Chains A and B, each alone.
Chain A
Amino acid sequence: MVDPGHLELIHAEIDGELDARQRAELSRRLLADPAARSLRDDFQRLCRALDAVAEIEPPPQLRDGILAALPPSPARRSSSAAALRWRYAAMIAGVLVAGTLVFQTIRGPGSATRDAAGTMAPLSGQTVVDTVRMANNGPVGGRVSLYRDGPELGLSLELTSGTPVDVLIASGGHTLRVSGLRTPTEVALPGFPMAGQAVDVTFLRAGHAVGSATLRAPKGQ
């Protein structure tokens, strides 16, 4: 059984991450531990073999196929594209609000939390107050930013998830849920306080949490 400390140094050596002091330390340990020496030889051999695996040329038609499949619109935030996106998002938000109202009506009063759809926040006058790059092990990556837009808070979500996710936003006794997010989206948080409290964002897929982020709201109006 090789000491974990030896193992870490062996891997670090392979990756070129050792400084002179650590290299001397590793040499000293290897001299005293034949099992560690043998393991180090194996890893070095493995990594040499891995590095020697040849790269494969992609199919010659790949580039042309990609370019031929590009959508006609350029990948930029043109004003017409933005307007269309806002209109589309507002439509989704409207559907979500209506759905929520129906749900609330069916469920009746008495719940402490409030499920409501987010509405798209305007681009102008926004000040980003906190940003989190998601560093979880789950399938949702990307960036979440909390911004202030006049008297209200909003959330900007730039997700790299391959499939749509639901987003649950909870802060200061308010809860908001937005379903089926995939592309970059901005969600207004009407009524959410600005008291320096935490804003917890949870990403859900099929009802299960697959990631989370916590941001901090600013203090005061």
Chain B
Amino acid sequence: MKEDDDRTLVRRCREGDREAFGQLVTRYQKPVFNAALRLLRNTEDATDVAQTTFLKAFEHLGSYDPSFRFYSWIYRIAVNEALDALGSKKSFEEVSGVEKDEAPGPERRVESEQMSRAIEDALMRIKPELRAVMVLRHFMHLSYQDMSDILLVPEKTVKSRLYTARQLLRDDLLRQGAF
């Protein structure tokens, strides 16, 4: 069981086993990096966020409560770090202004790769808190309960944000001619 493995690795880390932490990094570096990348859309920033996430996790491992799932805990750190990084760099409106120029024109029928690009563009045009639920749901495939644990908001709020985000994305893609 993955959860049991995580608990064992965390316990070994707490006992000073750095290799165990290396295994946790190996296991979670890809989802953590991808979550940061989808939120920030910048490889360098996503790499920084992933690095900071794991360093903070290591630093605070002593306070981690093993009754919670490790991935929820580390994803929460990652999402918070990414949102902080986003807030400290530029507002989402500024991102929107930059990305709009690169969006496909209304007459252009996008294929699979172009659709992905259009979606990534559209994601950058919605509020970070809405983007976060889209990333957790559609890129990390987490349940409502997991998202609620990670974002520290009730499931009802998770659903509300998710539905709003989908609506905004759908409307945006229609306007861009991607649909």
Known A52-B116, A59-B47, A76-B15; contact A141-B152, beta-carbon cutoff 8 A:
yes
A3 on the B face (CB < 8 A): no
Q: Knowing A15-B144, A76-B62 are in contact, say whether A67-B25 is a contact too (CB < 8 A).
A: yes
Rounded to whole Å, the gap between the CB of B3 and the closest CB of chain A is: 19
List B residues 19-75 near A (Cβ within 8 Å).
21-22, 25-26, 29-30, 33-34, 37, 43, 47, 50-51, 54-55, 58-63, 65
Beta-carbon contact of A15 and B137 below 8 Å: yes
Q: Is A56 an interface residue (CB 8 A)?
A: yes
Q: Is A1 an interface residue (CB 8 A)?
A: no
Which residues from 51 to 101 on chain A have a C-beta closer than 8 Å to any C-beta of chain B?
51-59, 62-63, 65-67, 69-71, 74-77
Structural contact, A160 and B62, CB atoms closer than 8 A: no
- Contacting pair B14 A76 (CB below 8 A): yes
Contact A160 B33, CB 8 Å, known A8-B163, A141-B152? no
Chain B, interface residues (CB within 8 Å), range: 35 or more
The listed residue (B55, B77, B141) touching A70 by CB distance below 8 A is B55
Taking the complex as formed, is A180 at the interface, i.e. its CB lies under 8 A from any CB of chain B?
Answer: no
In whole Å, how far is A55's beta carbon from the nearest beta carbon of chain B? 5
Decide if A43 is an interface residue (CB 8 Å cutoff).
yes
What B residues does A136 contact at CB under 8 A? 152-153
Are A69 and B51 closer than 8 Å at their CB atoms? yes
Considering only CB atoms, which chain A residue lies closest to B87 in the complex?
A139
Distance in angstroms from A58 CB to nearest chain B CB is: 4
When the two chains form their complex, are residues A67 and B59 in contact, meaning their CB atoms are under 8 A apart?
Answer: no
CA of A167 to CA of B119 in the docked complex: distance in angstroms? 40
Known contacts A70-B55, A184-B63; is-contact A43 B170 (Cβ 8 Å): yes
Is A130 engaged at the interface, CB distance under 8 Å to the other chain? no
Identify A11's interface contact among B21, B60, B162, CB under 8 A.
B162
A residues in contact with B116, CB < 8 Å = 49, 52-54
Interface flags, A166-181, vs B, CB<8A=1, else 0: 0000000000000000
A75 touching B58 in the complex, CB below 8 Å, given contacts A11-B166, A15-B144, A160-B80:
yes
Contact across chains for B59 and A75 when beta carbons are under 8 A apart? yes
B138 interfacial contact with A, CB 8 Å = yes
Q: How far apart are A122's CB and chain B's nearest CB, in angstroms?
A: 17
CB proximity of A75 to chain B, nearest CB, Å: 4
Nearest A residue (CB) for B33: A58
Interface residues, chain A, CB within 8 Å of chain B? 7-8, 11, 15, 17, 39, 42-43, 45-47, 49-59, 62-63, 65-67, 69-71, 74-77, 133-137, 139, 141, 143, 158, 160-163, 183-184
| Bound CA–CA A56/B47 (angstroms) | 12
By a CB distance below 8 angstroms, the chain B residues around A11 are 159, 162-163, 166
- B179 cross-chain contacts in A, Cβ below 8 A: 42, 45-46
Name the residue of chain A whose CB is nearest to the CB of B129.
A137
Q: A57-B30, A158-B63 are in contact. List 14 more A-B contacts (CB 8 A).
A: A11-B162, A42-B170, A45-B179, A46-B119, A46-B179, A52-B112, A54-B116, A58-B33, A58-B34, A63-B29, A67-B18, A139-B83, A160-B152, A183-B60
Complex alpha-carbon distance, A220 and B33, angstroms: 50
A143 in complex: contacting residue of B50, B58, B65, B174, CB < 8 Å: B65
| Residue from B26, B137, B166 whose CB has the most chain A CB atoms within 10 Å | B166
Say how far B11's CB is from chain A's closest CB, in angstroms: 10
Chain B residue with the shortest CB-CB distance to A39: B170
**Residue B124 is within 8 A (CB to CB) of chain A in the complex:** no
Task: Give the distance to chain A from B81, nearest Cβ to Cβ, in Å.
Answer: 6
Q: How far is the CA of A69 from the CA of B173 in the complex (A)?
A: 42
- A134→B152 contact, CB < 8 A: yes
- Tell whether, in the assembled complex, residue A56 and residue B55 are in contact, meaning their CB atoms are under 8 Å apart: no
